Chain A
């Protein structure tokens, strides 16, 4: 038993470096991620928030006055609208909640322009009604330009009100409408003709035992009814799971959605407890997938050895080396010969790296795409390179032929090759992101001869058998890849 525990711990520790956002990502009720002057920001309960230069490494330092719980923030033109609950949600303050909005020209507390306007109240609860006005989530409806706010907790109903996007004030004469029960820390999003209400269900603030989880209902009308996948109204407690506990983390709460590119989305939320960080409440960023117009959080990308399969043809990324046949005698009498009684089938060994490596050139080897035959030249080991930084959701990875140091690299001619050994150069670092349809895009951190961090060009199937670097297009399967775990 001792040995088993040891090996489990050891297995856990090898993945620590990509287990969560790094730095000090400690936060509760993170607001939707928002970018300001090249940095990412998120704001939490209590007052402060986190800042990240690259989206992967997060540190304290963001500032929001007013205290209270669970803010949300949205960029409006070149200004930022901060929305927050001024009270604590029942903790010593009863259920008389107030939601306030305020503007800032920047989120950077070091900027001379950093100054919040005087906060104005846009919604409140009187302490007795079925609502506690905290936990706002904001939506700017892309179809109408109107701004909506959902808010509330388990103390009664989740409500929606309309905000004037120009002023941040409540629209005059607007009446609050009830849209859900049984949740808190809600958010509204819009996609593809549907409005979605994301709510946090389960139990908060109980550390490793917190059952917090994020559920969703959708509606064709922003005012509801928000219906779940079995036709149940969120006003009757309905909700379909978006993210639950797992991966040594419990208590997913306070959904936010960030669109990075067409078809590249992430959800941000917090874990009530990360078992690998002493059970602290941490920021989580996961790919956001869409299945039949329902959002679902993808898994974090795991290091491992994979086939890299093109979505275009289903062929596999490989070294352009000789295909070495396996010399296994064909079955006696042909494929249709009945097996003899008691005869055990022979196990056929797979081709090993050492069987073929010797014949490979020692310099750069070209990359192509071919029929997947689980051969050594098609097995890729993907390893995080934490010191290289990261982006929203992941650190940069190196992609090497399993058992070797031969690494996938971008070239100055906008092609891909493999170099005999990984040097840490930016063109050998890869950004891997899961797309909303579940496939992945793979981008070099940099392309020799091109300035700065690359966020445009990805590994691309220009032919069934030919990879290159080309502009990422969500519409084209040429931009997409799948990672299939190499069978052991």
Chain B
């Protein structure tokens, strides 16, 4: 992936791929889906406890169930006044919105609050309490926990049903499933809890909802002695029951993952089941991952059993990596494997031997002129992959990649617009391993190539494209409003690593900044502007709230007097020539060609070292630099080296 195209994720199972996630409660607020899962971690307690371990909650959200945004931590165990700050017991949560007072039908304003329900271990004593944390909004929400847990509701797995009778009901687990009405304040029980009678066997994780006047209570259930959890459901005409057991929503996990826990939502006229498995932790089933699949009702209101898929839901945007290892069908001895069994989060690859094929349903290239296929592939000999999209077919000539992963771009006749099933078959002889495939209008832009030793001058407009770039230094500015001159001077002149103002690093050299090892990369920009944002994302480093260092060498055959350094940067930057400060671009800047120019300076005969530091909060960071002579012409009679 190094400096290649970094491709985002499409909705395939699991849907959260940068961390473990479990017990997913999905809710729809204002047309956007919000996901409130538990956050499994590997126990940080020594010796490692091989058990459930959860210290905080992240919130995720999506407009389409495909692109998921991690909105970050919304509550940590240290924040709960009554909770044990080292309890690691922040199990399955829920979140509901309650309007404040009567709402006008067309009001877009949320005059109300979000109530987040969560189990936690109390500071003293045993078992679990159920807490409530309240936030005014979900845009950078601040959930403030109540000082005490809900009185009278000891247990885990809270779920709030907001019924059409205008009342809210709290369901929870803990050896059995109980329910109680909530008072209007949403933080106190209104009356005694009632136990819900369900078939024999362990139950937990209730999720209750209402549809067409019927109430559904759904729950993980161990139906066989010594078995693991399936998802079952019961129905009632009343919110608090009695509930009549109806059947199974999802069978036990075939790989033995002991738990399952779920939620059910309707979104854009389709019902969905969110659940979890242990796809990223095959040998330890307490580190789980959230999945989603479509759910269907029968005409009589009963639920059809959901078969878990790899493919997940939605139409996959084929401009992004289509992870065909999340196939809908597979055959001809094709199979999937983990990329790396030491880091399961790297996901899977598809192994396509001769005759092997995978089918991946519902992809859309989103263009009527998609004419480029990019395959990330590994082969030892050339082969041919046949690509089919509905009735469209084309053969992709895949070169030998010497056993290395390579992104191969292949021009093809225009692919059909709209949604089609994609099939990829190996019709050659040699085996191919495929990571992903994209269908785009043009090959994805490469922003950098590794610097070579070949002679290089500034480009036709004088821009310097060969640079030594240091991986980003953490500078967590959430906005660029702080970039006033005083702040910048302080940040640009402070020492981050030894020899900062003198060193001429080599590619691969490392420095340590704030205990973090950062590497210098020798690169050539394919554009006049050096896209630092792409440098960072290409290395899977942080792209926002960062400071970059850049160094290059300008070798002049003769002294050139009275030139000026002309720079543009996003955001602020400072530049030094041969150790002397020559230019500061301050404020919240965009990268504009010739935005700021230095005073008249001299490029000496021989090597001149140009050094720059560029700082950015959010947004795309980049810079462009050239020298302009007295006549306003770009300086080009020099060579750019990194030595």
Contacts and interface: CB of A to CB of B under 8 A. Distances in A.
Interface in A60-117: 67, 87, 91-94, 96
A172 B320 CA distance: 21
Contact of A237 (B61, B69, B479, B590): B590
Given A175-B367, A176-B441, A182-B590, 10 more contacts: A47-B108, A87-B63, A92-B32, A96-B67, A128-B6, A129-B444, A154-B619, A155-B620, A183-B590, A206-B481
Nearest to B66: A96
B441 A175 contact: yes
Interface residues of B toward A: which range?
35 or more
A222 B67 CA distance: 33
A236 B445 contact: no
Interface residues of A toward B: which range?
35 or more
B591 A174 contact: no
Given A155-B620, A209-B481, A92 B69 contact: yes
Contacts of A96: 8, 67, 317
A124 interface: yes
Contacts of A183: 590
Contact of B368 (A46, A172, A201): A172
B279 to A, nearest CB: 23
B513 interface: no
A93 B30 CA distance: 14
Contact of A232 (B442, B445, B593): B593
A128 B369 contact: no
A201 B61 contact: no
A128 B540 CA distance: 13
Interface string B22-39: 000000000110000000
B591 A181 contact: yes
A126 interface: yes
A238 B67 contact: no
Interface in B1-35: 5-8, 31-32
B244 interface: no
A203 interface: yes
B366 A182 contact: no
A127 interface: yes
B297 interface: no
A94 B319 contact: no
Contacts of B595: 237
Contacts of B5: 128
A175 B605 CA distance: 48
A92 B71 contact: yes
A173 interface: yes
A211 B368 contact: no
A174 B369 contact: yes
A262 B34 CA distance: 52
A130 interface: yes
Contacts, number: 93
Nearest to B463: A236
Contacts of B320: 126-128
- Interface SS, A side: loop
Contacts of B319: 126, 129
A156 interface: yes
Interface string A125-160: 011111000000000000000000000001110000
B69 A127 contact: no
Interface of B: 5-8, 31-32, 61, 63, 67, 69, 71, 108, 139, 317, 319-320, 366-369, 414, 417, 441-442, 444-445, 479-481, 528-529, 568, 570, 588, 590-595, 619-620, 624
A265 B414 CA distance: 44
Given A126-B8, A128-B6, A203-B480, A154 B592 contact: no
Contacts of B369: 173-175
Contacts of B442: 175
A46 to B, nearest CB: 7
B620 A154 contact: yes
22 contacts: A93-B69, A96-B8, A121-B366, A124-B317, A126-B319, A128-B5, A128-B6, A128-B8, A172-B417, A173-B369, A173-B414, A174-B368, A175-B442, A181-B590, A182-B591, A203-B481, A209-B481, A232-B593, A233-B593, A236-B593, A237-B591, A238-B592
Given A46-B108, A182-B592, A67 B31 contact: yes
B31 A91 contact: no
A254 interface: no
Given A126-B320, A128-B320, A92 B61 contact: yes
A443 B67 CA distance: 56
Nearest to B531: A130
B31 to A, nearest CB: 7
Name the 9 nearest CB pairs between A and B, nearest first: A237-B592, A236-B593, A126-B319, A182-B590, A172-B368, A203-B588, A127-B8, A126-B320, A173-B369
Contacts of A249: none
B478 to A, nearest CB: 12
Contacts of A91: 139
Interface in A231-265: 232-233, 236-239
Given A47-B108, A94-B69, A155-B620, A201 B139 contact: no
A240 to B, nearest CB: 12
Nearest to B590: A182
A94 B444 contact: no
Interface in A25-55: 46-48
A154 B590 contact: yes
A236 B592 contact: yes
A431 interface: no
A452 to B, nearest CB: 35
Nearest to B63: A93
A312 B413 CA distance: 64
A443 to B, nearest CB: 40
A292 B528 CA distance: 31
A170 interface: yes
A124 B441 CA distance: 12
Nearest to B624: A236
A238 B593 contact: yes
Interface in A202-224: 202-203, 206, 209, 211
Nearest to A175: B369
A127 B67 contact: yes
A181 B594 CA distance: 14
Nearest to A182: B590
B620 A156 contact: yes
Nearest to B588: A203
Interface string A159-186: 0000000000010111110000111000
Contacts of B568: 237
Contact of A211 (B529, B588, B592): B588
B308 to A, nearest CB: 26
